[in-house]
Amino acid sequence: MKKYILSALILLLLTSCSSSRKTGIYSNDFTAQNENRRQVSLSDFQGKPVLMTFWASWCTSCTAELPMFETIWRRYRSSGLIILGVAVEDDFTSALAKVKRSGVTFPIMVDVTNQAKSTFGVGWLPTTVLLDRAGLVVPLIDPDTGEESLSVNGPRSWSNRTFDTFLRERLEAGL
């Protein structure tokens, strides 16, 4: 009997450590207004991979990244990727004005209550995270250093080849 229990435990351990198992943390849901002032929840995007950037209209580093995310959005939206810009520490009018001036067409949420910021523990702007189709926060590559982590904090060169290759490979693998 002890052999069967030991065998079952070893099998369970091996199964749970298999390379197909995803690593990361499940994201918590939050709700904010979209560009049309409709309430939208992060869970509305479940089933699709989401590259989410936290930004603010007054943050020049943040707004400098918006065109790079627009390029990624145009390149990969046919693959199902959602780029989601979440404006925090901002008012709706200022955030929307910045979006219109920058020509952004990817989905925007304006979180005037900072619920999203607190949900994701954002302490630095801009901050970018990647969610898989199940809503799991998964590692993404820092385009400037090549290191993987669950969030990238501060301005980065999102339009470089390193990040493009990383994202394309993840999407092809079913991110």
Tens digit of each residue's pLDDT (9 = 90 or more) over 114-161: 999 999 999 999 999 999 999 999 999 999 999 999 999 999 999 999
Task: Give the pLDDT confidence score for residue 8 in this predicted structure.
Answer: 32
Q: pLDDT tens-digit profile of 6-23? A: 233 322 222 233 333 345
Class of domain 23-172: alpha beta
Going by pLDDT thresholds of 50, 70 and 90, the confidence category of residue 28 is: confident
Structural domain spans, the chain: 23-172
Residues 6+ apart with CB under 8 A from 113: 32
Cα(175)–Cα(171) distance, integer angstroms: 5
The pTM (predicted TM-score) of the whole model is: 0.84
Region of 114 on the Ramachandran plot (φ > 0 left; ψ -120 to 50 alpha; else beta) = left
Task: Give the pLDDT confidence score for residue 27 in this predicted structure.
Answer: 76
Whether the CB-CB separation of 107 and 36 falls below 8 Å is answered with no
